[in-house]
Amino acid sequence: MDAQLPALVIVVPLLAALLVPLAGRRAAWGLVALALLLAFAGCVRLLVRAHALPEGEAIRYALGGWAAPVGIEYVVDRLNALVLTMLSGVAFLVALWMRRSTAREIRPPAVTGYYSVFLLMAAGLMGITITGDVFNLYVFLEIASITAYVLIAMGRRRQALYAGYSYLILGSLGATFILLGIGHLYMATGTLAMADIAAVFAREPQLYDSSVIRTAFAFFTVGLALKMALFPLHGWQPGAYAEAPSATSVFLAATATKVSAYALYRVAFTVFGVRFLETGLPVVRDALLVMACSAIVVGPLLAIRQHDLKRLLAYSSVGQIGYVVLGLALHNADGLTGSFLHFWNHAAAKGALFCVAGALAYRAGTTQVAALKGLGRRAPLTAMLLTVAACSMVGVPLTAGFLTKWYLARGALEAGQWAVIPVLLASSLFTAVYAWRLLQLAWFADEDGPVAEDVPWSMRAPSLVLGAACLVLGVAPLALPVAQAAAEALL
């Protein structure tokens, strides 16, 4: 069974997603949780195995028994094992978290369908991550996208439809660009397997000068930037996060854009290769650097002005994705390590924050920031969660967020990009401003908000795990060795 793990971690959620519509409502939730638990266990096992592998090797799984260029191959190395574990872990926690929340936010007959779509999205995101084939990546990107549109559109307010719709339009545009990129890539190399394409590049370095390859890379970059809501292509994101049902927001915000960022890393480093970034098309690198930096600054600035907690968090995500991309733009070991750490760090922090928003929606029926008033008294654990996660977002030392900034700053200094440092600091300051506003309301408000008591334990416990992760990841460097090894392997 161990050998079959790479396939199973994807297939099991898929299978469950197909069975859920046939199962009853109660059994459905159990199935979701079980499937995601199994997937998580599998991913952890894969992470352990991948980390134990010698440098430069990966776990390979040939789907259909056809080895790579002929068939589709799953490749698990340290980097994507890291992302996979994050994905399945968050998905599992959200699955635990969402039972009560969906019961309140989703119309009862649609709940099983919602679960099914949720599982499909989780499987889709994991599929994007695990695959070693550019076209297969696109297929799972489609699954993840379509499900995301609907998971958003199922929000209770009318605006949810609009939010889902605008994501649909922009997401499809992005997906189209990615497909164009794949097409160009295939045209120039004649193969779709990532490793094989890389081999072609190694064999024929003159391909780097080909306009086909350059166009392909540009398409990939723009398409994935759209999908990951990289400033200034983030237009779809705030509405989507704000209007979606709580469980969707938690999962989407914690994982979705990061997977696109991961895909960009894969494409840039594994497929095109570092040399292409350095010599082939350096302008893209500079453009990414500028975009990442503007995202890092502008995201929190926009967040400061928001009155809706989910919208505020969404804008903050706009900034946070900048951190994830920054490593790519710096492309040295420290910068990459910082970005890879951020996959986990931000997932934990943003997941926890959206859990707070979900708790607010559950208890208060609103996600207005003002509803946080008195949270510290009525729901102290949730308020603690908010505090810890917000500190992590700011990058307070001893929380996970600090490590990200530390490595990114090191990477920036190493790369000679001094200007990045003020950007990082400014972003921390802006983040501190809105985090402070939230905490102020939660702990130091005089009058009480609409929250009467804390959410049920079935919601509290999973979200606290995320909050604890913010602290644990900040003190005990669980992900660090893997992230560092992954960064070094990419370069």
Partner 1 sequence: MEDLILAILVALALAAVRLKDLLGAAAVLGAYSLLMALLWCRMNALDVGFTEAAVGAGVSTVLLLAAVNRVGRREQGPGVSPLLKPALWRLAEHRAALAERPDRPLLSARTMALLVVGLTAAALLYGARDMPRIGDPAAPANRAGSVAQHYLRHAPADTGAANVVTPVLGDYRGYDTMGETIVIFTAALCVVLVLRQAGRWRGPKEAP
Partner 2 sequence: MRSTDSLIVRYIARRSVPFIQLYALYVLGHGEDGPGGGFQGGVIFASSFVLLGLANGWGYGRRAAPARLLDPLLPLGCLIYLGIGLAALLAGGAFLEYGALAGSDDPEVRRHWHHYGLIGIEVGVMVTVSAAMATLFFEMARPARVQARVDRVGEEADRA
Partner 3 sequence: MSGAVPLLGGLDLAGLGPGLPPLVCLLGLLGVVAARRRPNLREGVSLATAGVNFALVLWLYARHRAGETLAWEGFSLAPGLALSFRVDALGLVFALVASGLWILNTLYSIGYMRAHDEPRQTRFYACFALAIAAVMGAAFSANLFGLFAFYEVLSLCTYPLVIHAQTPAARAGARKYLTLLLGASIGLLLPGLFLVYHLAGTLDFAPGGLLAGVAAADGTLVLAFLLLVYGMAKCAALPLHGWLPAAMVAPTPVSALLHAVAVVKMGVFGVSRVVFHVFGPETMARIGADDLLVGVACFTIVVASLIALAQDDLKRRLAYSTVSQLSYVLLGVGLGTGAGAVGGLLHIGMHATSKITLFFGAGAIYLACHKTRVSELDGIGRRMPITLTAFAIGALSMIGLPPTAGFVSKLFLVRGAAADPAGAVVLAVLVASALLNAAYFLPILWRAFFRPLPAGTEAGVHEAPWPCVLALSLTALGTVGLFLGHGPLLDLARAVAHAAFGGAE
Where do contacts with partner 2 occur on this chain (CB under 8 A)? 4, 7-8, 11, 14-15, 18-19, 21-22, 61-65, 107-109, 116
Report in angstroms how near the CB of residue 375 gets to partner 1 at its nearest.
16
Report in angstroms how near the CB of residue 452 gets to partner 2 at its nearest.
24
Our CB check for partner 3 shows the closer of 1 and 55 to be 55
One of 201, 344, 407, 434 touching partner 3 (CB under 8 A): 407
Q: Confirm or reject binding of residue 406 to partner 3 (CB under 8 A).
A: yes
Distances (CA, A) of 316 to 32, 178, 405: 29, 26, 15
Span interacting with partner 3, options 46-54, 92-100, 234-242, 475-483, rule CB under 8 A: 475-483
- Residue 48: name its binding partner from partner 2, partner 1, partner 3, none (Cβ under 5 to 8 Å by kind): none
C-alpha–C-alpha distance, residues 456 and 95, integer Å: 15
- Given a contact cutoff of 8 angstroms between Cβ atoms, the answer to whether 409 and 479 are in contact is no
- Given a contact cutoff of 8 angstroms between Cβ atoms, the answer to whether 322 and 61 are in contact is no
Which residue type does 389 have?
A
Our CB check for partner 1 shows the closer of 190 and 380 to be 190
Report in angstroms how near the CB of residue 107 gets to partner 1 at its nearest.
5
Q: Confirm or reject binding of residue 68 to partner 3 (CB under 8 A).
A: no
Q: What residue ranges bind partner 1 (CB under 8 A)?
A: 14, 18, 21, 63-64, 66, 69-72, 103-105, 107, 109-110, 113-114, 116-117, 120, 127, 135-136, 139-140, 142-143, 146-147, 149-150, 153-154, 156, 158-159, 161-162, 165-166, 173, 177, 180, 184, 186-192, 196, 200, 210-212, 214-216, 218-219, 362-365
C-alpha–C-alpha distance, residues 231 and 22, integer Å: 41
Our CB check for partner 3 shows the closer of 282 and 380 to be 380
Our CB check for partner 1 shows the closer of 112 and 428 to be 112
C-alpha–C-alpha distance, residues 304 and 144, integer Å: 30
Report in angstroms how near the CB of residue 232 gets to partner 1 at its nearest.
11
Residue from 468, 484, 488, 466 nearest 476 by CA: 468
Q: Confirm or reject binding of residue 482 to partner 3 (CB under 8 A).
A: no
- Residue 56: name its binding partner from partner 3, partner 1, partner 2, none (Cβ under 5 to 8 Å by kind): none
- Given a contact cutoff of 8 angstroms between Cβ atoms, the answer to whether 108 and 124 are in contact is no
Question: Percent helix, strand and coil across the chain, each rounded to 5?
Answer: 80, 5, 15
Per rule CB under 8 A, count of chain residues that contact partner 3: 28
Our CB check for partner 1 shows the closer of 210 and 368 to be 210
Span interacting with partner 3, options 18-26, 92-100, 107-115, 400-408, rule CB under 8 A: 400-408
- Dump the DSSP string for 375-438: HHHH-HHHHHHHHHHHHHHHT-TTSHHHHHHHHHHHHHHHTT-TTHHHHHHHHHHHHHHHHHHH
Residue from 269, 194, 268 nearest 489 by CA: 269
Site for partner 3 in 421-440 (CB under 8 A): 421-422, 425, 428-429, 432, 436
Our CB check for partner 3 shows the closer of 117 and 441 to be 441
Q: Confirm or reject binding of residue 173 to partner 3 (CB under 8 A).
A: no
Report in angstroms how near the CB of residue 174 gets to partner 1 at its nearest.
11
Structure tokens at 309: 């907690």
Mark residues 274-313: x for contact with partner 3 by CB under 8 A, - for none.
----------------------------------------
- Given a contact cutoff of 8 angstroms between Cβ atoms, the answer to whether 442 and 357 are in contact is no
- Given a contact cutoff of 8 angstroms between Cβ atoms, the answer to whether 200 and 134 are in contact is no
One of 279, 444, 452, 491 touching partner 3 (CB under 8 A): 444
Report in angstroms how near the CB of residue 470 gets to partner 3 at its nearest.
14
Long-range contacts of 212-215 (CB under 8 A, 24+ apart): 212/184, 212/187, 212/188, 213/184, 213/185, 213/188, 213/272, 213/276, 213/280, 214/280, 214/281, 215/181, 215/184
Our CB check for partner 2 shows the closer of 56 and 108 to be 108
- Given a contact cutoff of 8 angstroms between Cβ atoms, the answer to whether 121 and 151 are in contact is yes
Our CB check for partner 1 shows the closer of 35 and 486 to be 35
- Given a contact cutoff of 8 angstroms between Cβ atoms, the answer to whether 255 and 129 are in contact is no
Q: Confirm or reject binding of residue 70 to partner 3 (CB under 8 A).
A: no
Our CB check for partner 2 shows the closer of 64 and 282 to be 64
Our CB check for partner 2 shows the closer of 7 and 287 to be 7
Q: Is 419 exposed, middle or buried (0-12, 13-18, 19+ CB in 10 A)?
A: exposed
Our CB check for partner 1 shows the closer of 368 and 410 to be 368
Half-sphere exposure of 373 (CA within 13 A, CB side): 10
Q: Is 306 helix (H, G, I), strand (E, B) or coil?
A: coil
Report in angstroms how near the CB of residue 338 gets to partner 3 at its nearest.
10
- Residue 210: name its binding partner from partner 2, partner 3, partner 1, none (Cβ under 5 to 8 Å by kind): partner 1
- The label of the residue with tokens 């070693």 reads 132
Structure tokens at 342: 């951020």
